Amino acid sequence: MQQWSKVEPLTYPGGTYKYSNVQNFPGAAGISAALITLFPGGLRELHWHNATEWAIVLHGTCRATVMESGKNRPAETWDFSFGDVWYFRPNEGHTIQGLRDGCTYLAGYDDGTFEDRRSLSLSAWLSTVPPGVTAQGLGVTEGDVTRHISRNEVTFLPLGPVPNTSLEEFRARVGRPPQQPVLQTHRFEIAQVIPEVETPGGYVKVAQVTNFPVSEKMSGALVRFAPGALRQLHWHPGHAEWQYVINGTVMGQVLIEPGVCEEYIMGQGDAGYAPKGSAHWLKNASNNTEAFMVLMFDDGLFTNIDLTWFIGDVDPETAATSLNTSVEFAEAVDYAVPTMVPAKHDSAGLDPDSTSAGHEKKSIRESSSALFSH
């Protein structure tokens, strides 16, 4: 577990930035992340990188453009708000800008060593190219390049004018021929999707390749925990899991191999990690308030095996022998326990209104807004 909430972000003219990778979270070998806040007009400059990027907006609004390869220059621009996801393939050029209220987004990458400041970018590139070469490539004079492009300067998060055009006006302005639309959209509204799992214990909303076709190498989930609820004991056969707490307090445990495990408590803004194949669980530590998390996976298809499936697909004798226990215990197990397990009925202090549909939508928006508003 990483107490990411205690890591101070770096401040730039256009926003703030902090990262999580093996340098400061050594156990997270497969996935890295960044938390970026864009001030109004703040720009994550034009850039690209070898890692796949899966990101979700946690607060505010931003405008993002992605460019694919191809002679017809396929590109796509969208305005993103709370609960919207984008997915950028490796080395697709892209940029993100904060709109009138700014924006905070969580980005995950399928490389545990990745750090976004090392991405190749427009300013990093042209500030090192000989001015004469840049001038020839852009169809301007060498004097123009010398006057307007600083040498060896990387902007990363510069501050620009706050966009004052609608999305439609922006698209019409920049759509230079022969630019064509992309074949698969890079935007997905995970907050609006029908849950993959929904029980009195909470829900799991998933963005994966089956409902977000462009996302072939990464997927993610938005998870609601009712008070005291448990994300069933499970493991993932095909991917690691990077965990982020939007609000609340969440307990977790990860078992890597017999006798090698970590049990931890994450607060708002903290991160956890479960390597591929590791046994793990997550539980809302509060019996009174909800908790919400973002989970990111380094595979486009979300897969898991729950504990009740694992022992429920064999006879009670096999389960009892494996656990060195009685057949009576194996027969007493409720194999219908769901993926999101509600708190036991004798748990104290439950808020009867906390599981209503209206409350849960308001709760996650308000919690996210309180954490990231300026």
Contact 87/215 with Cβ under 8 angstroms? yes
In 3D space, the residue among 90, 87, 84 whose CA is nearest the CA of residue 104 turns out to be: 84
DSSP state of 185: -
Q: CA-CA distance, 48 to 51, in Å (whole number)? A: 9
DSSP state of 39: P
Q: CA-CA distance, 114 to 185, in Å (whole number)? A: 25
Q: CA-CA distance, 205 to 9, in Å (whole number)? A: 29
**Residue 17: left if φ>0, alpha if ψ -120 to 50, beta else—which one?**
beta
Task: Give the CATH H-level superfamily of domain 193-372.
Answer: Jelly Rolls (2.60.120.10)
Does 356 have pLDDT greater than 60?
A: no
**Would you state the pLDDT for residue 364?**
63
Does 21 have pLDDT greater than 80?
A: yes
**Would you state the pLDDT for residue 130?**
97
Q: CA-CA distance, 64 to 57, in Å (whole number)? A: 11
**Would you state the pLDDT for residue 372?**
62
Helical residues (DSSP H) of 237-282, grouped into ranges: none
| Tokens coding 130 | 């000989």
The average pLDDT across 359-368 equals 55
For residue 131, give the H/E element and its range. helix 131-138
Contact 111/146 with Cβ under 8 angstroms? no
**Would you state the pLDDT for residue 351?**
41
Determine phi and psi for 151, rounding to 5 degrees.
-80, 135
DSSP string, 279-325: EEEEEE--SSS-EEEEEEESSSS---EEHHHHHHTS-HHHHHHHHTS
Q: Which stretches does DSSP call E strand in 110-153? A: 120-121
Distance of alpha carbon 69 from the chain centroid: 24
Contact 227/350 with Cβ under 8 angstroms? yes
Does 174 have pLDDT greater than 80?
A: yes
Contact 247/293 with Cβ under 8 angstroms? no
> In this predicted structure, which of 12-16, 66-70, 75-79, 359-363 has the lowest mean pLDDT?
359-363
**Would you state the pLDDT for residue 204?**
98
The percent of residues in the chain predicted with pLDDT above 90, rounded, is 87
The residue with tokens 């966009």 is 163
In 3D space, the residue among 263, 269, 291, 138 whose CA is nearest the CA of residue 203 turns out to be: 291
Contact 158/12 with Cβ under 8 angstroms? yes
The residues, ordered by sequence, that sit 6+ positions from 142 with a Cβ below 8 Å of its Cβ are: 131, 132, 135
Q: Which residues of the chain are in CATH 2.60.120.10 domains?
A: 4-187, 193-372
Chain segment 249-299, per-residue pLDDT in tens? 999 999 999 999 999 999 999 999 999 999 999 999 999 999 999 999 999
Read off the pLDDT band of 178 (50, 70, 90). Answer: confident
Q: How far apart are the first and last CA of the chain?
A: 27
Chain segment 306-330, per-residue pLDDT in tens? 999 999 999 999 999 999 999 999 9
| Tokens coding 230 | 């448990």
Side-chain half-sphere of 62: how many Cα atoms within 13 Å?
32
Contact 343/226 with Cβ under 8 angstroms? yes
Contact 211/190 with Cβ under 8 angstroms? no
**Would you state the pLDDT for residue 348?**
41
| Tokens coding 298 | 């380094």
Read off the pLDDT band of 176 (50, 70, 90). Answer: confident
Does 354 have pLDDT greater than 80?
A: no
**Hey, what CATH class is 4-187 in?**
mainly beta
The average pLDDT across 44-67 equals 98
